């Protein structure tokens, strides 16, 4: 009889009860005695020198306890790119200059939110406006005003990739598919607005509760801006209401809460409102991509060249990483023997762009996958056949970047072709009705140490107790994706315990082992999961000794944990309850507790990621030829996320990604006018509601990823990529219109139809 396994079980989330009863605490839900409320004064102009700031009237308002500007705090430049200090270009409050509409200029702390906001109106700032640049072309034009004095132009970073004989590939090509694409800025629209609450302790140390994906980054960067030691800052991450990449940097409200709390000796809380989020918050990069792919007559790809210009906004933050990722994802999915990439990261006087679900991959794959379908049309081939012909397989190497450990792309394509009825539908559905396809690949965590951490990328401490329970401590950050479910599930599996035997300690830099880089790039299941397994294995070895000794087992016997016991695998009657073994081990260890810490840092696995997921998606759409309205009638998805540790959690990721990605394709865009975001409420920024969602069928192609815990890898982030190009392809199939400038709108379709 084999033991029960928790791997592949759709267990519910341990925090679900707190969430359905209103008991789950988010940062803004916390109220401390004496707490003050903060508010931020933002720049109303896109580019200006600050001639003067007068805060006297604000300070004099009854109830106002503190007002600070960039003149009152150290002008420490920060940013996630600690490895390249020149890329750290941001200060918490503007120093001398403002560079976008919404740039933080001053902060107020007052007895209540009304008073804080009233005080903002009493701060007088005199701006000397400067010429501004908003678009990529303007920013790169000769003589354009530049944003940062450290640069002589508006280019903050360039990235080049070159391999293979590219020129020859294009000279000998049968068909060259060449296109230019543009993409639009969109907002994460996480439901919980950003919030931070800080308290200065009596010894001068800082405790901050903040809505973040990355407690460790906040700890390091806040310490630096406050001129403290890292360990003098304690970051606590309460429940977080979504992030999607938008909460992985130190932000001005974190700093201002902490600085003012220390200054006045009372806790200070900032909570953004939705208009601040939409008007000034981080966003997915608007990108211009020029791409050409060389094909032989039979459809074999022989080379690809991609140029990308990313509108980075006024500051770098986390954003420049997308320059690398677009280059990387431009060369994924297919065997491309020769590749050239030129990426430019460009400053403009717009709100800074940053990480958002997929981070560069949605733009790169929108361009690349649209080209694959268009090339198929040009070559007279079926779009799925063309993809199958070129698709990557297990063991493929991307020169200098990565080796693909597991890959189910071909199987995904074949399966999605089958379940969607592709062969019967493509090009046959009739005018106004179409079907389209696109693929994706994504990373399972990043290898490149741009934060320049001196700690392991993931850490997990496991302690076991003689009552048969265990405790897992890790700084891995659940922001809704479910790591507080999956990591205990992995530990329960390793120790043969039930989920409710595992106590989780998380989200506190003072209580969890150093360190974990947080939630981004779909890294947590693989990296923190491996750290949990390593800690568990070490603990188990010490417990196994006890069982071997007790039963005087021959050295060839394997031991196993299961059903709350530890036993000899081939003599399962030789078993002892887990807690009793822990008691024995502690006695043997003169009372010292049994615990171990496991670490994971990706090594010797290229520059990008230890593992790659794959998938294929088909969209079936109906286009109203009179109005240009696109209705997505059905989605089909087949993905390879390795072994599904918890299918219900994987499905939740997949279903959520379709919502966000349909919004990206069809309804969401931040409407910009001279640096100002015009649509700043959810009435005007349209994320799909329940009734907008099409029916969706999904399947998995299971592979075993050798680098992942129990064979698992990324799920749900890469799916931010294929939906837009699949819908573009379906609209092309329905109307002959190929959208090269997202989003797809009725106006663009009607323009093509000549209506």
Q: What CA–CA distance (Å, rounded) separates 268 from 425?
A: 59
Token output for 88: 């750290």
643-672 residues in contact with other proteins (CB under 8 A) are 648-649, 651-652, 654-660
In the complex, the smallest distance separating the C-beta of residue 273 from other proteins, rounded to whole angstroms, is: 5
Tokens 């003589």 sit on residue = 143
10-29 residues in contact with other proteins (CB under 8 A) are 10, 12-13, 15-26, 28-29
Binding mask 687-726 for other proteins (x = CB under 8 A): x-xxx-x--x------------------------------
Q: What is the DSSP letter of 754?
A: T
Q: What CA–CA distance (Å, rounded) separates 116 from 136?
A: 37
Three-class DSSP labels, 507-521: CECCCCCCCCCCCCC
Laid out side by side, the sheet with 594-600 consists of 502-506, 470-474, 458-464, 594-600
In the complex, the smallest distance separating the C-beta of residue 242 from other proteins, rounded to whole angstroms, is: 4
Strand, helix or coil at 381?
coil
Residue 126 within binding range of other proteins, rule CB under 8 A: no
Q: Which of 370, 368, 301, 369 is nearest to 341 (CA)?
A: 368
Binding mask 103-122 for other proteins (x = CB under 8 A): ----------xxx-xx-xx-
Token output for 420: 């969607």
Return the CA Rg of the chain: 27
Residue 681 within binding range of other proteins, rule CB under 8 A: yes
426-445 residues in contact with other proteins (CB under 8 A) are none
Please answer whether residues 302 and 339 qualify as being in contact, where contact means their C-beta atoms are separated by less than 8 angstroms: no
- Select from 82, 239, 417, 533 the one that contacts other proteins (CB under 8 A): 239
- Select from 143, 152, 683, 754 the one that contacts other proteins (CB under 8 A): 683
In the complex, the smallest distance separating the C-beta of residue 518 from other proteins, rounded to whole angstroms, is: 15
Q: What CA–CA distance (Å, rounded) separates 188 from 248?
A: 12
In the complex, the smallest distance separating the C-beta of residue 190 from other proteins, rounded to whole angstroms, is: 6
Rounded to 10°, the helix 723-735/746-753 angle is: 30
Residue 221 within binding range of other proteins, rule CB under 8 A: no
Total residues contacting other proteins (rule CB under 8 A)?
Answer: 74
Residue 129 within binding range of other proteins, rule CB under 8 A: no
- Select from 190, 315, 339, 440 the one that contacts other proteins (CB under 8 A): 190
Q: What CA–CA distance (Å, rounded) separates 260 from 631?
A: 50
Please answer whether residues 384 and 410 qualify as being in contact, where contact means their C-beta atoms are separated by less than 8 angstroms: no
Whichever of 44 and 164 has its CB closer to other proteins, that residue is 44
Query: What torsion, rounded to 10 degrees, do the Cα atoms 147, 288, 365, 690 define?
Result: 80
Whichever of 98 and 233 has its CB closer to other proteins, that residue is 98
Whichever of 560 and 620 has its CB closer to other proteins, that residue is 620
Whichever of 242 and 564 has its CB closer to other proteins, that residue is 242
268-327 residues in contact with other proteins (CB under 8 A) are 271, 273-276, 279
Whichever of 367 and 658 has its CB closer to other proteins, that residue is 658
- Select from 79, 185, 215, 241 the one that contacts other proteins (CB under 8 A): 241
- Select from 6, 36, 38, 43 the one that contacts other proteins (CB under 8 A): 43
Whichever of 264 and 648 has its CB closer to other proteins, that residue is 648
C-alpha distance from residue 362 to each of 285, 680, 738 (Å):
10, 23, 17
476-505 residues in contact with other proteins (CB under 8 A) are 479-482
Indicate the pairing of strand 124-129 with strand 402-403: unpaired
Q: Nearest 5 degrees, angle CA 354-CA 355-CA 361?
A: 120
**CB-based burial of residue 433 (10 Å sphere; 0-12 exposed, 13-18 middle, 19+ buried)?**
middle
Binding mask 347-386 for other proteins (x = CB under 8 A): ----------------------------------------
């Amino acid at each position: 009889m084999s033991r029960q396994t928790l791997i592949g079980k759709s267990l519910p989330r341990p925090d679900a009860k707190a969430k359905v009863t209103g008991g789950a605490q988010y940062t803004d839900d916390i109220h401390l005695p004496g707490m003050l409320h903060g508010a931020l004064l933002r720049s109303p102009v896109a580019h200006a020198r600050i001639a003067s700031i007068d805060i006297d009237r604000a300070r004099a308002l009854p109830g106002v306890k503190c007002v600070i500007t960039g003149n009152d705090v150290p002008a420490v430049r920060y940013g996630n790119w600690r490895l390249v200090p020149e890329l750290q270009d941001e200060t918490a409050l503007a120093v001398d200059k403002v560079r976008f509409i919404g740039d933080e200029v001053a902060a107020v702390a007052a007895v209540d939110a009304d008073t804080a906001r009233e005080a903002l109106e009493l701060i007088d700032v005199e701006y000397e406006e400067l010429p501004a640049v908003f678009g990529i072309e303007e920013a790169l034009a000769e003589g354009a005003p530049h944003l940062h004095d450290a640069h002589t132009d508006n280019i903050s970073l360039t990235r080049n990739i070159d391999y293979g004989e590219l020129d020859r590939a294009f000279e000998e090509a049968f068909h060259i598919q060449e296109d230019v694409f543009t993409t639009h800025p969109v907002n994460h629209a996480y439901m919980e607005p950003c919030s931070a609450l800080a308290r200065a302790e009596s010894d001068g140390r800082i405790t901050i509760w903040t809505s973040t994906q990355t407690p460790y980054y906040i700890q390091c960067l806040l310490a630096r801006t406050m001129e403290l030691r890292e360990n003098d800052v304690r970051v606590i991450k309460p429940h977080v209401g979504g992030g999607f990449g938008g909460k992985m940097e130190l932000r001005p409200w974190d700093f201002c809460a902490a600085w003012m709390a220390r200054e006045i000796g009372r806790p200070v809380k900032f909570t953004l409102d939705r208009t601040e989020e939409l008007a000034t918050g981080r966003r997915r990069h608007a990108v211009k991509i020029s791409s050409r792919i060389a094909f032989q007559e039979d459809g074999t790809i022989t080379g690809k060249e991609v140029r990308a210009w990313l509108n980075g906004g006024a500051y770098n933050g986390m954003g420049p990483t997308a320059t690398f990722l677009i280059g990387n994802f431009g060369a994924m999915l297919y065997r491309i023997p020769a590749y050239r990439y030129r990426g430019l990261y460009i400053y403009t006087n717009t709100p800074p762009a940053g990480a958002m679900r997929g981070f560069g991959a949605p733009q790169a794959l929108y361009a690349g996958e649209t080209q694959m379908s268009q090339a198929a049309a040009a070559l007279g081939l079926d779009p799925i056949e063309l993809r199958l012909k070129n698709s990557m397989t297990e063991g493929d190497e991307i020169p200098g970047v990565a080796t693909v450990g597991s890959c189910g792309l071909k199987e995904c394509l074949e399966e999605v072709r089958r379940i969607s009825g592709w062969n019967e539908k493509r090009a046959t559905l009739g005018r106004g009705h179409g079907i389209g396809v696109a693929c994706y690949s994504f990373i399972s965590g990043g290898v490149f140490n741009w934060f320049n951490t001196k700690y392991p990328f993931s850490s997990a401490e496991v302690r076991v107790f003689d009552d048969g329970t265990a405790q897992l401590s890790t700084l891995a950050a659940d922001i809704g994706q479910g790591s507080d479910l999956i990591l205990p599930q992995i530990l329960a599996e390793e120790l043969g315990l039930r989920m409710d035997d595992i106590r989780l300690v998380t989200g506190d830099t003072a209580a969890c082992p150093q360190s974990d880089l947080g939630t981004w790039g779909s890294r947590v299941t693989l990296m923190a999961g491996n750290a949990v397994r390593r800690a568990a294995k070490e603990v188990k070895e010490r417990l196994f000794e006890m069982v071997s000794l007790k039963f005087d087992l021959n050295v060839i016997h394997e031991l196993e944990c299961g059903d709350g016991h530890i036993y000899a695998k081939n003599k399962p009657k030789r078993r002892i309850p887990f807690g009793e073994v822990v008691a024995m081990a502690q006695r043997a260890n003169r009372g010292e507790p049994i615990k171990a810490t496991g670490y994971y840092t990706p090594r010797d696995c290229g520059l990008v990621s230890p593992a790659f997921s794959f998938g294929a998606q088909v969209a079936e759409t109906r286009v109203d030829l009179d109005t240009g309205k696109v209705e997505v009638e059905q989605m089909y998805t087949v993905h390879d996320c390795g072994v599904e540790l918890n299918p219900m959690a994987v499905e939740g990721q997949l279903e959520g990604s379709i919502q966000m990605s349909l919004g990206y394709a069809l309804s969401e865009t931040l409407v910009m006018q001279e640096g100002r975001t015009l649509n700043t409420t959810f009435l005007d920024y349209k994320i799909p509601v329940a009734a907008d969602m099409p029916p969706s069928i999904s399947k998995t192609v299971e592979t075993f990823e050798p680098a992942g815990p129990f064979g698992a890898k990324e799920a749900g982030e890469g799916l931010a990529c294929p939906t837009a190009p699949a819908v573009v392809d379906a609209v092309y199939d329905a109307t002959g219109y190929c959208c090269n400038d997202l989003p797809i709108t009725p106006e663009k379709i009607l323009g093509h139809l000549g209506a």
